[in-house]
Structures are given as structure tokens and as C-alpha cells.
A = this chain, B = another copy of it.
Amino acid sequence: MDIHEYQAAEILARHGIPVNAGTVATTPAEAEAAARAAGTLVAIKAQVHSGGRGKAGGIKLARTPEEARAAAESIIGLDIRGHVVSKVLVVPGVGIDQEFYLGVVLDRNARQILIMASAEGGVEIEEVAQTNPEKIIRIHADPDRGVQPFQLRQMAFDLGIPAGKVAGFAAIAGSLFRAFLDEDATLAEINPLIITKEGDWLALDSKMSFDDNALFRHGDFEALRDMAEENATELEARQSGISFVKLDGNIGCIVNGAGLAMATMDAVKMHGGDPANFLDVGGGASADQVAKAFGLVTADPNVRAILINIFGGITRGDVVAQGIREALARVAVSVPIVVRLSGTNAEEGRALLAEAGLTAVDTMDAAAAQVVASAA
């Protein structure tokens, strides 16, 4: 789950990290008022769940309230990597002495939490990783004991942070790591983390994402969800335990298992077709859930044919077939349906489908070929 910069900043502030607090504005007028209240040079920053805001013109400086209004006008409504800006953050301008990158992520290979820092602040860390990997200082947190202050001081010394600022850096890095753990984050990032002209540490831009599997521990995070940023259909799907991603093609796909779903899309493409979606009904799908999946796919007006590809493991073929029948009884489907059914209880499933007038194809490849032909 992704959240906005201003929300991440609020969370980090609660963990004792000094952040550049600002005001959220959804209109140019609000931005102007916020700038006036700030009474200083401000930055107007697009609040979208996407990187690359700067390059896309989503961040502007404004010396006056009028400039702030103009900046907000140009930013609100902007499309940044497919995300349309609906709000901006107005923060006081800050004199920067030094900039750093500081982030906490999972290192999948090491199966440990990784704390990364670099003196190349303000630059995307992936870029630094490719161009100057030696400029990234890394610490793996002990899975049991976490990270000790001395390790973070060492990191600060390695970054060349002046002696008088080392304790401050270590405190912020420690707090960021704690925030990552306490909030079940998958990413906690400050970029740039700066030393101001006045010599104070300040988190100028904060970013956090959360582990969807741990949301049950954080009931308050639901309030942080920005429905404008989420695809309503995808969210609705997720609430039914279905993974759904809308794509641009015209062949609806209903598959059990993420890997098989991707392979099914690949097969459709190989046969010259274009998938309308990625859809994984999940393990142990109930008839209800299959019907639900059917609804998700048929709601897309682009869909010209539907491919159902089920290999039964936990999911039983007869249950899937039952779901298809129930869905067809509820929704009138006007496009061709190609079903491929294998694995557990596939024969029972095929029998049920036959009763409903549907014939199941034997292999995925054949099914993909057939659905592409039907959609043509």
C-alpha cells in the first residue's frame, strides 16, 4: 500500500524525525493561502503515488503567494506517469547545506532489512546504485537485535558527515528503521535528508509503503488510502482475495495462480492477442469468487472474448465450473468464452460445464489460440 509524501512525513514526525511540515492544498487558492500563511519562499509539490515528480514538472518553487497559486495551477491536474495530481503539498523553502539519501528496505536475497545511505541526496537511489554503487553505504539489520547506534554512527562517518552532526544522523536513521518495523513498511525513505544552512537535520522528502499482509495490525492505515490513486476495480477485487490488474487489450483472462496468469497472458500474446487484464482468482477459490472474477472481467467494455484457465490444485475444477455456471446465470455474457480446465476434479468440472453448454479446451496453448481467434 502506497501513501503520499505528506502522510509519510506525518508518520516519520511521530517517530521523532524532524520533517519539513507543510500544508496540503487541493486548489490553487488553498495553495496561495498556505503560501501566505507560511510567509516565506515555498515549494509546491505534487502529491501522487509515483516517482519522477521533479522531472515531470510536479515540484515548483514560489517566492510569493501569487506564484504559489500559479504553480499549483500548473501542477494540479498534471499527469505524472499515469497518476493525475489532485493535491499539492505547500512547504516552506529551506536553505540546504548538504543533502543525503537515507532508506530502509527489505533485501530479498539476504532476507534481512537493509539500511542504505548515500551522500548523493536528491537522486533516485536506483540511479546511484547503477552509476556509483560504491557511494551507497549499506547496513543489514540483525533480524533479532535490529541495528545498533554504533552502526549508524559508522555509516555517518563513512558518508563523511561532520563529527558534530553524526549523533543527529544516527538518531534519524535509528528512528527511520524503527518506523519501518513498527509500521510494517516495505519502504521507508528520506530523499533528500538534509543539513540546513542553519546546521539542522531535516527530512525534506519522505516516502513510505506498507506491507499489505500486515495491514491487519494497522487499522488506522485505511484512512491514509487515497481512493483517487487506487483503481476502484482493483481494490474491490483485492477485497475478495482476487488479484486484478487492468490492461489495454481485449481478451479477458481469469486464471488461478499469479504465475499461470502471467503465462496465460504470454500465451495470448504469442498467438497475436492482447490481454485485457491480469486476474488471479487465488487459491481455494469458491464458486462465489469465480463469479466475482467473471463480473470484474465482463465489466470492461473492451473485452471481446474471455479465457478461463484453471489448473486445479487447491482450487477444484468442479467448484470453478459451478462458479462459471452461477455467473452466467446472473450476468448475460455476450462475448465468447473459452474454458481450459485441468488438475483436481477437472473431469467433474468439465461435466458441469458441458451441462451449461460450454466445452473445455484441453491445453493452455490451444485455449489461447482459440480465444484469440474468437476475439478477432
Contacts and interface: CB of A to CB of B under 8 A. Distances in A.
Interface of A: 144-145
A214 to B, nearest CB: 18
A145 to B, nearest CB: 6
Nearest to A144: B144
Q: How many copies does the complex hold?
A: 2
A107 to B, nearest CB: 20
Contacts of A144: 144-145
Contacts of A145: 144
A282 to B, nearest CB: 27
2 contacts: A144-B144, A144-B145
Nearest to A143: B144
Nearest to A146: B144
A140 to B, nearest CB: 15
A145 B145 CA distance: 9
A149 to B, nearest CB: 16
A217 to B, nearest CB: 14
A352 B208 CA distance: 65
A42 to B, nearest CB: 37
Nearest to A142: B144
A345 to B, nearest CB: 35
A249 B67 CA distance: 82
A272 to B, nearest CB: 54
A323 B339 CA distance: 95
A209 to B, nearest CB: 26
Top 2 A-B pairs, shortest CB-CB distance: A144-B144, A144-B145
A142 to B, nearest CB: 8
A8 to B, nearest CB: 26
A106 B317 CA distance: 57
A144 B142 CA distance: 10
A145 B144 CA distance: 6
A21 to B, nearest CB: 25
A143 to B, nearest CB: 9
A361 to B, nearest CB: 47
A144 B144 CA distance: 6
A53 B30 CA distance: 66
A233 to B, nearest CB: 38
